[in-house]
Amino acid sequence: MLNPKSLNDSDLLSQTHDLVTKEKQITLDILHYLREIRLRKLYLARGYSSLFDFCTKELGYSEGAAHRRISCMYLLVQLPEVEEKIKENKGNLSTLSQLSSHIRREEKHNNSKIPKEEKLQLLAQIENKSQELCQRELLKHSSQGNMSMDRQRPITEDLTEIKFVATKELMNKLNQLKALLAHKNPNPQWGEFLEILADIGLKKLDPRLRETKQPPKSKAANVAKAAVNQPTPDSTAAAAKRRVNPNSKYISQEVKKYIWNRDQGRCQFIDSETKKKCESQFALEIDHIQPFSLGGQTTVKNLRLLCRAHNSFVAKEAFG
Ligand SMILES: [Zn+2]
């Protein structure tokens, strides 16, 4: 690269233009490459639970930069015309990703696909617009109930501001819950109220926090006998093993709790090449390492936690 200080004004400007043209081409190339990585599900093989995770943790993009690139990649798949807009300087990653998110929200909200012609009209309407004007334009085309722009913003290391728009139905449900919880806290702040709901939700949904039934007395006696015959240093593991029937696919609450604790509530998929472990906490499921239908037993040794993405990935590898 030439030292910019050595260039005259005219060359400095024209070379800056050249570099920006190259930058746009590289951006487009990256979108096409990300699309191919997604199609091959390479991020899963490399131990990431999502393309977003891969972009931030493997490629080093910030969360915003990763989101913009992935959103634009999806838009490019739906509307190949986006490529020309980027080349002709009529759209940038920020406004195009806003359009992509708008289309996704609208289609989800209305449970129907937006026709391509309509998408192209939207693309033309946001041409050359700033982020704010683009947002205003898209709001004009938003269905009622899809006007919210969810925001979360860290304020300090320990505090995060969350902003969202609640529908009438959601407010009714929240007020009902407030009334039901009034004996606990008659007039909670929103943060306190959500924390109470979070505790209730976690107790119900996180197998590590769920209460498990005690074994009936007669079984408990047998268990004590078994424990004497076969001592083990880990009582939780022992309790889980007792509740396992290796030849049934059924997994008891006690065993689920043990697996969740042992695997620390994280996906255990490991990329055999790089040895990177996924560790995602998103949509976890219990997986038979050796598939049950291929003779794998329901034992704590053959069970592990996988995120949903990796569970379907390994199933596809095993069964095609
Ligand atoms: Zn995973």
Per-residue pLDDT at 236? 66
User: Which of 93, 78, 73 shows the shortest CA–CA distance to 23?
Assistant: 93
3-class secondary structure, 274 = coil
| Average pLDDT of the chain, as a whole number | 87
Q: How far apart are CA 226 and CA 209, in angstroms?
A: 27
- Expressed in angstroms and rounded, the spacing between residue 314 Cα and the centre of ligand 1 is 10
- Expressed in angstroms and rounded, the spacing between residue 255 Cα and the centre of ligand 1 is 20
Residue 78 to residues 93, 112, 114, 117: CA-CA distances in angstroms?
15, 15, 11, 11
Q: What tens digit of pLDDT does each residue of 248-277 get?
A: 888 988 899 999 999 999 999 999 999 999
Question: 37 or 245: whose pLDDT is higher?
Answer: 37
| Ranges 27-31, 141-145, 288-292: which has the least confidence | 141-145
In the predicted model, what is the mean pLDDT of residues 273-288?
Answer: 95
Structure tokens at 283: 């949509």
Per-residue pLDDT at 151? 80
- Expressed in angstroms and rounded, the spacing between residue 207 Cα and the centre of ligand 1 is 18
Per-residue pLDDT at 256? 92
- Expressed in angstroms and rounded, the spacing between residue 197 Cα and the centre of ligand 1 is 27
- Expressed in angstroms and rounded, the spacing between residue 263 Cα and the centre of ligand 1 is 12
Structure tokens at 193: 């109220």
- Expressed in angstroms and rounded, the spacing between residue 303 Cα and the centre of ligand 1 is 15
Q: How many residues does the chain have?
A: 320
Per-residue pLDDT at 244? 72
- Expressed in angstroms and rounded, the spacing between residue 261 Cα and the centre of ligand 1 is 17
- Expressed in angstroms and rounded, the spacing between residue 149 Cα and the centre of ligand 1 is 29
Q: What tens digit of pLDDT does each residue of 179-216 get?
A: 888 888 888 999 999 999 999 999 999 988 877 655 44
User: Which of 124, 142, 131 shows the shortest CA–CA distance to 95?
Assistant: 131
Q: Are strands 284-288 and 303-307 parallel, antiparallel or unpaired?
A: antiparallel
Do residues 91 and 123 lie in contact, with contact meaning Cβ atoms separated by under 8 Å?
Answer: yes
Q: How far apart are CA 181 and CA 70, in angstroms?
A: 41
- Expressed in angstroms and rounded, the spacing between residue 204 Cα and the centre of ligand 1 is 23
User: Given the structure tokens 């490399």, which residue do they identify?
Assistant: 46
Q: How confident is the model at residue 48 (pLDDT cuts 50, 70, 90)?
A: very high
pTM of the predicted protein model: 0.75
Above 70 in pLDDT, residue 228? no
Which segments of the chain does DSSP mark as H helices, in order? 9-40, 42-45, 51-53, 63-78, 82-87, 93-110, 116-125, 131-140, 168-180, 190-205, 217-229, 235-242, 253-262, 308-319
Q: What tens digit of pLDDT does each residue of 128-161 get?
A: 999 999 988 998 898 865 555 678 888 888 999 9
